Structure 1
Amino acid sequence: MGSRGPRSLVLVLPRPGGPGGRGLWGSEGSRGPSSPAARGLRPTMRLRSPRLLLLLFCGLRAVVAVSQEREVRAMVGSDVRLACVSLEEGSFDLNDVFVYWQISEPGKANAKSVVTYYLPENSSAGHSDNHYRDRAWLSLDSMRQGDFSLHLHNVTPQDEQKFNCLVFRKSLELRKILDVVVSLHVAANYSMPVVSGPSQDEELTFTCTSTNGYPRPNVYWINRTDGSLLDGALQSSTVSLNARGLYDVVSVLRIGRAPSVNVGCCIENVLLHQNLTSNQPEMFTGDKKSVPDGPAHDTLEAGSRPVLSVLGVLAMAVVVAVVTGWLCRNRCPHRSHTDARAARPELELAELV
């Protein structure tokens, strides 16, 4: 440790399941001039913690690749590709690259969680975050062509965050050759809003429901007569997360009674630039529904009963008159018709002669 000669850095990680704790690193002095092998950093990998190894890589080299940022949108339940492609021409030796995809840990400042990684000694990519096990993968064939993109299966709302792709080359003294940040935005279609109501109270109450959408929606009530927006103070909306991590919304509109009301409910998904409006028109006509139950209503019904009785008697009289006329016509035929029937036997006899 106290040698005055040139020094080389050696990374030592314990074998899986073997002694040595979580991994050590330190410096080892050399007595003679440094050799090319000493100048080129050649860590021996015995993987125990890919997160620790990544921290060491990031601290070893001050020279880094230019960071790239991009945005991607994906629907819940779909598959998505988060691009991380090298601009260098030619193929890559997989024994020469270290690939890491990481995300920020929620609630922990500057803390990172490794989503998936590739190390030269591994024949396939590994996973550190259980949330992405069997959902995140890298293509070895694509990596040989410089494409280190992350393939994510069955996107969930929890995947909406920034993914960081880091690629190091061992032959370049573990220099970072790629640093790409991909912001994944997740969306889900809301169900068609359904409006129920109105209630038969002093004020009209309409209720609108829509489920299983993402991200958080905006809710509007509209006047279908002229397409104008109703005052937001007339509505109260409750938005909650369900077991799938998606949003359900219930909105209640309360307005005063009017001779005629025609309203609709609109759910806006900002990310998808989508507006869903309830299909069925919710109408209220005061002449039909605003009459309350009570003595006045009973009086109205009582006054209408004699009118209905008179109409029934008139209808019966018309039916009787029609039936009587029909019977009379069949039983009392016209004279010309009788004469024709009487002449018919003579006609038949003449034909026989």
Structure 2
Amino acid sequence: MRPRSPGLLLLLLWGLQAESQEEVRAMVGSDVRLRCIHPEENSFDLNDLYVYWQISMAGKGNADSVVTYYLSGNDSTNHSDNHYKDRAQLSLDSMKRGDFSLHLRNITPQDEQKFVCLVFQISLQLKKILEVTVTLHVAANYSMPVVSGPSQDEELTFTCTSTNGYPRPNVYWINKTDNSVLDDALHNSTVSLNARGLYDVVSVLRIGRARRVNVGCCIENVLLHQNLTSGQTETFTGTKDSITEDPIDGSHGGEPRPVLSVLVVLAVIVALALAIGWLCRSRCPPRSYTGAQVARPELALTEHV
């Protein structure tokens, strides 16, 4: 008995329970292999097999779940989900050896699904000989977070931005002085999906004025076990009424700089030199200038007998 259409088989597949489960992680834009291998190293006749890959849509109410399939004399192109057209591929040579793995190219965030591999033997009245569920986790690196600010207001406002990451991140602000995590109530983070299906992050930190502020923004990608911390350190000094960025001298009420101390020392040295010169002129007799003298070698003294 040969199945007339893969759509008729869908009604049968919902009641099947997976015999094994795997989890796979893939980066956006990469290729991935979803394993579905028969436990016995047998040789299979492709004309006697029906290999079917679908997305597990339990609870989603969507019947368009076909990824790809193999059935001798049939083409899966018209029955596959358009999202997987020309991206999902089975290897005929591998299937002959019991390897029914799915090769999926150019991974996107929408590929984060549960994929079900089903293999039936036609001569045994479509007896199921293999079923594997593969959960695909998709990840993408966030850009290095950039901190800007602060704005000049009643309080200090810093803004952190990071783009094109996946999955949804955790956002932290840290005090770089002691690496402590700032209270979540001090910042407000907005995470949104962009046109590529990836996440962009904008986080705004508001804190009271302080003489010195040194903060950083941290973007955590849990799936990649990755923490990205802003490389920019914001250091400011000031009071409640005014704030300036590290003044270079003491003209604005800051403490004297080392340059001023050096100038004072030089002035004292010059004064001492002038005083010594005056004393020398008053006590030492003047010498007449005879011009440059040519250096001549001294003659050795000899004793005449």
Bin the TM-score by the shorter chain: 0.7 to 0.9
Contact 2:237 2:243 in 1 (8 A): no
Distance 1:222 1:199, change over 3 A: same
Contact 2:44 2:97 in 1 (8 A): yes
Instruction: Please give the alpha-carbon distance, in whole angstroms, between the structure 1 residues aligned to 2:138 and 2:179.
Output: 31
Instruction: Please give the alpha-carbon distance, in whole angstroms, between the structure 2 residues aligned to 1:203 and 1:65.
Output: 58
- Corresponding position: 1:230 with 2:182: yes
Instruction: Please give the alpha-carbon distance, in whole angstroms, between the structure 1 residues aligned to 2:197 and 2:85.
Output: 19
Distance 1:172 1:225, change over 3 A: same
Match of 2:165 among 209, 213, 233: 213
Q: Partner residue of 1:177?
A: 129
Q: Which amino acid aligns with 1:238?
A: T
Counterpart mapping for 1:1-353 below 5 A? 42-43=1-2, 49-52=5-8, 54-55=9-10, 58=13, 67-105=19-57, 108-109=60-61, 111=63, 113-122=65-74, 126=77, 128-286=80-238, 291=242, 338=291, 340=293
What TM-score do the two structures reach when normalised by structure 2?
A: 0.77
Higher helix fraction (1 or 2):
1
For residues 190-240 of structure 1, the C-alpha deviation after alignment (integer angstroms, 9 at most, x for no partner) is 000000011111110000000000000110000000110101100000100
Contact 2:236 2:243 in 1 (8 A): no
Contact 1:104 1:112 in 2 (8 A): no
Q: Which amino acid aligns with 2:10?
A: L
Instruction: Please give the alpha-carbon distance, in whole angstroms, between the structure 1 residues aligned to 2:161 and 2:45.
Output: 55
Shift of 1:109: 2.9
**Structure 1: any 5+ residue segments left out of the alignment?**
1-41, 294-299, 302-307, 319-333, 345-353
For residues 241-274 of structure 1, the C-alpha deviation after alignment (integer angstroms, 9 at most, x for no partner) is 0000000000000000011110000000011111
SS in 2 for 1:181: strand
Contact 1:65 1:178 in 2 (8 A): no
Q: Percent identity?
A: 73
Distance 1:180 1:112, change over 3 A: farther
Instruction: Please give the alpha-carbon distance, in whole angstroms, between the structure 1 residues aligned to 2:116 and 2:166.
Output: 23
Instruction: Please give the alpha-carbon distance, in whole angstroms, between the structure 1 residues aligned to 2:17 and 2:44.
Output: 17
**Structure 2: any 5+ residue segments left out of the alignment?**
245-250, 253-259, 271-286, 297-305
Shift of 1:281: 1.1
Higher Rg: 1
What TM-score do the two structures reach when normalised by structure 1?
A: 0.67
Instruction: Please give the alpha-carbon distance, in whole angstroms, between the structure 2 residues aligned to 1:55 and 1:214.
Output: 32
Q: Which amino acid aligns with 1:101?
A: W
For residues 86-137 of structure 1, the C-alpha deviation after alignment (integer angstroms, 9 at most, x for no partner) is 0123211000000110014597437451100000224x75451111011100
